[in-house]
Amino acid sequence: MNIIMAAAECVPFIKAGGLADVMGSLPKALVKLGHEVKVVLPKYDTIPPEYVAQLTEEKELDVPFNGGMQRCKTYSLVLEGAEYLFVENEALFSRGKIYGEPDDHTRFGFLSRAVLSVAAAQEQQVDILHAHDWHTAIIPFLLKEDSRYAALQEHTKTVLTIHNLQFQGNFPKDVFIEDFEMDESYYDDGVVSWKGHFNHLKTGILYVDQVTTVSPAYRDEILTAQYGEGLETLLQEKGEGLIGILNGLDTEFYNPATDLVIEMEYDQTTLERKAVNKRALQKKFGLPERGDIPLLTMVSRLTDQKGVDVLQELLPNLLQSEDVQFLLLGSGREHYEEFFKDLSKSFPEKVKVHIGFNEDLAHLLYAGADIFLMPSLFEPCGLSQLISMRYGTIPVANKTGGLKDTIIEYDPVLRSGNGFLSDFSNQQTFEDALGRALSLYQQESHWETIKQNCMQGDYSWPRSAEKYAEVYKKIAER
């Protein structure tokens, strides 16, 4: 099939979160299944120079936007069979960052129109337009309601993947009218409006042929008032038009057997080498180099969603009463950052903090730690638990979204399972889950079994890509 995907970020070019990882892996996995895939992205000024140097200039596009026709250049780069197409607009995309601009509605509105211009310029029939998150969620509406895309309307089907329902793209009415040149009756009649705003994601859900989310459990959760962010009724009406497909992991990039940035590579048959990475991690951060002490870590954005307040309550008492170490790599809300900085001052022999993000350091944390903490209040899919298990680091997490789909509570009798789970919805605390993990850490036979169980899991993209391919085929045949 001929597939065009659209997103605001993509590894290895530009990344703010998990969306980028999906866009860097799913297209290549689909190519391996025999599909032709193009990914349309903004040409940001922060794309690494080594990739900019490889770009090939393609033909210019006419993009209808904001009351006129805008001419823009496109550039392409092929990686592992997938073609990445970059849309140039220096005024909109040369900002030094991806998100957080006051005119984000204009920036991603232009991207959405450019995606349709790319599709309209294709010599062969476009079977699927696959939009990701609110930034490109307007595409299904424009495709079906704008007569300028009549040539695409007959054969092209649409898919919208919700990576995080919390972010919906809410803007004033005039944004819809001015940016997209569509009749204001769509807003007044409630088609594109939601609670007094023009809502990109709601519009996409209403018009798209198939909605997907990034895990089966998250799909079920967003049908409820607790997780539906006000759109649960609309999502319930989609019926079979809403499914959950678990994200995969780039198992070549995250592979302890070939990872050259960790201290020593290892696999399931050489798990004793993991201890070398633990010592290297302790040494790097200036912690006592002890193999007998459980080393806990967290690599995360420091936001409410990630359950940092849970750790604020838990960690001071834990560090006071237990012989453990804790390492943090992350950044986010200032009061959370200050909490961890203060914690490291209070427990200098047990806690070290790196505010910010460093990819190489993250790999060493995954490889060297014993336990990975994820007390998330909600987690559409989650990537960190997949990486940690790939590296034989045991996840302790809250039972929600993709964490629920990928982590199975360890059973000491059956010796099955790959981690430990709290369940905030049933008053099962994170402290209890961590306590179970720490008690089994002292039992070497069990701990080795859990690590082996983690590393045996299949977290690869081919399995997920096949499910997306099935979705494409199904809606194309409707």
Structure-token pair, residue 312: 């604020």
For residues 295 and 324, what is the distance between their CA atoms, to the nearest angstrom? 6
Residue with token string 């045949």: 477
CB-based burial, 417-445: b 16+ in 10 Å, e otherwise: bbbbbbbbeeeebbeebbebbbebbeeee
The one-character DSSP state at 75 is E
User: Distances from the Cα of 291 to the Cαs of 294, 370, 441, 447, in angstroms?
Assistant: 8, 10, 12, 14
- Tell me if residue 210 falls in helix, strand or coil: strand
Query: DSSP per residue over 406-437, as a string?
Result: H--B-BTTTTB-SBEEEBGGGTB-HHHHHHHH
Q: Sign of the CA dihedral 144, 145, 149, 150?
A: positive
Query: DSSP per residue over 98-142, as a string?
Result: SS--TTHHHHHHHHHHHHHHHHHT-SS---EEEEETGGGTTHHHH
Beta bridge partners, 131, equal 6, 160
CB-based burial, 450-475: b 16+ in 10 Å, e otherwise: bbebbbeeebbbeebbeebbebbeeb
Exposure of 61 by Cβ count < 10 A (0-12 exposed, 13-18 middle, 19+ buried)? buried
238 appears as a binding residue in the annotation: no
- Tell me if residue 371 falls in helix, strand or coil: strand
Contact 208, 143 (CB under 8 A): no
Q: Phi then psi for 213, rounded to 5 degrees?
A: -120, 175
CB-based burial, 191-220: b 16+ in 10 Å, e otherwise: bbbbeebbbbbbbbbbbbbbbbbbbbbbbe
Q: Does residue 17 come out as left (phi exceeding 0), alpha (psi in the -120 to 50 range) or beta?
A: beta
For residues 72 and 77, what is the distance between their CA atoms, to the nearest angstrom? 17
Distance spanning both ends of the chain, measured CA to CA = 15
Strand 36-42 and strand 82-87: the pairing is parallel
Instruction: Specify binding-site residues.
Output: 15
Question: Which residues are documented as binding site for ADP-alpha-D-glucose?
Answer: 15
